Structure 1
């Protein structure tokens, strides 16, 4: 069978103007609507297959055979080096074993206390703008950055300075623009050409800001550990699993940065390796969650009936109490959980992943030759009408157990799936539940920006081209 082939790069090269990235994003959606789950493109010397049907996606990501990320991720190597997102093979496997215990349930339980404290700080921050229309994106982004610093990194952001935090966030946004431009400019795929370009020179300046910020976090935590030691988390024998093997010994559970600092002391990672993983988790741990929360708040503002149902569930769990939630409270918020899942279906922060195919692969209807990239479009997968009827409707009941029976296991993958799934997905879900439960107990959201107003753009993380406005009103006034 012949496979539909787009003139992808030719059309990308013609895109110009202030809405370059939104036009690029929309072009991908045009192709997804035109062809049934798969299309290809070719621009010498690169070829790629684009898939957004669950059978083909399962073939690629359910196994370790295709674990290597595509050349697109090499654009991140000056930033993330060989961190968990980019690495593959033995290095990826070793790092995954070091880091997985850092997201054990007992540590998440401890993190919940810190996350709830920061959620209450966010509640107090919004009191200053109650009754006003605000752009929710920078407010939420500041909150998620502070939370990842204080939980996984063990360092309070205000000890480093909030101004440096803002510079760090701004630099990450700018890096996203540069990666997008490089993706559509084949000549810039070569490091030599990119480094000579204005984009390469700008990236170097931005990376200095990013790396200096994360290096300060590492330095701060290492000094703390040298002075105070490391907090450990004991677990029952039946909760110890394979990834707990550390130099042939069962290891205790520790927070992420502490784990890799101790791994350095045992010779399993060096200073460069610590920097790689901190850069990776600082980016993924705050930016993706911030994007997910911003879109979710916008959806709640535009769906007051659903917002009221969440508030009713919160009253059932907390009554009239103003106490902070603990992890057991959050586990009872099943309707809120379904709402978050539905929001991540419509607006998956990681909307696109890519693998390198180093051997011939048999997909559902086509045989794909070795040596090409495989782009997996999660955004388009989640909006397939054959998988999710009325796909543009925000309907949390899709995730009720009775409505999930028979759904393809790879139809919904906001945190990817298979061996390279997101290591921090439970952390992210807990943070989103904590944030929304704290906010809705105090405030109502009213619509300003509507889903139809969004102009989504191609970036490392799904973003709107512009603010996301909501009106926030205190329930007690």
Structure 2
């Protein structure tokens, strides 16, 4: 049970500590044989220790269990021990249960994997948990991105963006994705009989899909990997974690964020930013000049339409800065995650050939019944293929967790969550919870079949989040993955190679997404052959 504690106690403590330090430093308080510098060093060390350990009393004082933090380092040593967030969060679920307290640097974080509490946080009481946690994306141009914005500003931008991802807009964008999927199939067929790094092909596909659906560009990265868009797109999110700016944001966000904003410092390379700003500016000019900009069938056209409709109603549309931020946010959120999902789906189908054969037969029958093509409507009816995708997203969710910031002190199931505290939703832990899923480490698409009680409940499967702040690009990502895999199954077979590790031996990167350290290599066989 959490109890209310005033933050004023911390400031009283600091004032008392400083008074003690000042009094001890006075000459009269020092023995004659003890050098002043030694006393100052000891007192300085004590202050550093107190400063480094004081925040980690937060959950203990409130009676909430959780991992023990190391002064100053927090849970950095545990992070290194487990090799990243994935294994650490799975271990924490086993040791501490579905609700426990931890920290991000010096900030208290309440981890919630309890489905009833999640429904309240994400849906029933979502008005008190509207904001996401931020770190590093508060600088230009991401400061206006939908993942960063808060409160009413977020609601305004979200409402303007939502029509761009309706089922109607997905149908309009579908031919663009279809073209990218065919280019993917053609490229993989050229590797027939070979063992390849499938992620490289899926990355090229995702780059092509992003370029055409977001920016209206046809680039064909499969045939021309050195194109300018691919080069800039690959570089802009290729962060070097030795960069002083990243560490400054990580260690001193309260100081560095205002300074970065004041002096226009960005985490991105200026050359890459200039490229995308130029692409977006020219595209917006073209679409603004068009009477019917929907003919472009891309995200930027949808944003121009949304701006026009908002201004007709006397509301504020998206500025060019905001359009740039949303474009890069969607790029960031959808590029790596979509290609990784395709990689893991191909991997699981290669290890489970019975499931691959079932999915292939379903797709082949659907194509025959739809005049030789897999249409947008057809994708919705590919029941088993969609179950395979869901099971892939369960075992290897694109994002391992997501955060919500409490904006108003709220009591959830007896836990008082104070204003300003982060609530972490451990997506990967929930998806591997043995109390919710039978044999959670086994690939079993039938657990998502209609009538199955395995993992029953809205809050047990959250690859795209839940509630008002769920992933706005969910439909686009699902369409890209389903279309690409449906076309691939008609063209090729995925088979394991001698050095293809099974699922339980995969070694993951220490990141916040599902990513493996070593490339997943599969053998590609032609269906026709």
Question: TM-score of the superposition, structure 1-length normalised?
Answer: 0.84
Cα distance in 1 for residues equivalent to 2:202 and 2:104: 39
Show the counterpart of 1:241: none
Show the counterpart of 1:187: 251
1:423 to 447, 467, 472: 472
Whether 1:325 and 2:374 are equivalent positions in the alignment is yes
How far the C-alpha of 1:373 sits from its partner, in A, is 1.2
Query: Using a 3 Å threshold, how does the CA distance of structure 1 residues 51 and 209 change in structure 2: closer, same or farther?
Result: farther
The one-character-per-residue Cα deviations of 1:67-89 (angstroms, maximum 9, x if unpaired) are 1112xx13212252121111121
2:513 to 461, 465, 471: 461
Do 1:176 and 1:459's aligned partners in 2 also have CA atoms closer than 8 Å? no
Show the counterpart of 1:243: none
Q: Secondary structure at the match of 1:114?
A: helix
State which structure, 1 or 2, has the greater radius of gyration over its C-alpha atoms: 2
Show the counterpart of 2:94: 33
After superposition, residues 52-451 of structure 1 pair within 5 angstroms as 52-62=113-123, 63-70=126-133, 73-78=134-139, 80-157=142-219, 162-174=227-239, 187-192=251-256, 204=266, 206-226=268-288, 228-232=290-294, 255-263=298-306, 266=311, 267-319=316-368, 323-364=372-413, 366-404=415-453, 407-447=456-496, 448-451=500-503
Cα distance in 2 for residues equivalent to 1:156 and 1:123: 17
The one-character-per-residue Cα deviations of 1:119-178 (angstroms, maximum 9, x if unpaired) are 110000112211111112222112112112212322223699624413422442426897
Deviates more, 1:454-463 or 1:327-336: 454-463
Query: Using a 3 Å threshold, how does the CA distance of structure 1 residues 20 and 320 change in structure 2: closer, same or farther?
Result: farther
Q: Secondary structure at the match of 1:40?
A: strand
Whether 1:46 and 2:110 are equivalent positions in the alignment is no
Cα distance in 1 for residues equivalent to 2:244 and 2:78: 16
The one-character-per-residue Cα deviations of 1:410-438 (angstroms, maximum 9, x if unpaired) are 11111111111111212211111101010
**Mind listing any 5+ residue stretches in structure 2 that lack a counterpart?**
2-62
Larger RCO, structure (CA 8 Å, separation 6 or more): 1
Query: Using a 3 Å threshold, how does the CA distance of structure 1 residues 406 and 223 change in structure 2: closer, same or farther?
Result: closer
Query: Using a 3 Å threshold, how does the CA distance of structure 1 residues 26 and 43 change in structure 2: closer, same or farther?
Result: closer
Do 1:155 and 1:220's aligned partners in 2 also have CA atoms closer than 8 Å? no
Cα distance in 2 for residues equivalent to 1:271 and 1:351: 32
The one-character-per-residue Cα deviations of 1:377-430 (angstroms, maximum 9, x if unpaired) are 100011111111110111111111100488222111111111111112122111
Q: Secondary structure at the match of 2:397?
A: coil
Cα distance in 2 for residues equivalent to 1:211 and 1:175: 16
Query: Using a 3 Å threshold, how does the CA distance of structure 1 residues 406 and 39 change in structure 2: closer, same or farther?
Result: closer
Do 1:348 and 1:378's aligned partners in 2 also have CA atoms closer than 8 Å? yes
Deviates more, 1:21-30 or 1:345-354: 21-30
Deviates more, 1:95-104 or 1:301-310: 95-104
**Mind listing any 5+ residue stretches in structure 1 that lack a counterpart?**
197-202, 234-252
Cα distance in 2 for residues equivalent to 1:446 and 1:131: 10
Cα distance in 1 for residues equivalent to 2:158 and 2:330: 12
Query: Using a 3 Å threshold, how does the CA distance of structure 1 residues 134 and 453 change in structure 2: closer, same or farther?
Result: farther
Deviates more, 1:300-309 or 1:402-411: 402-411
How far the C-alpha of 1:444 sits from its partner, in A, is 0.6
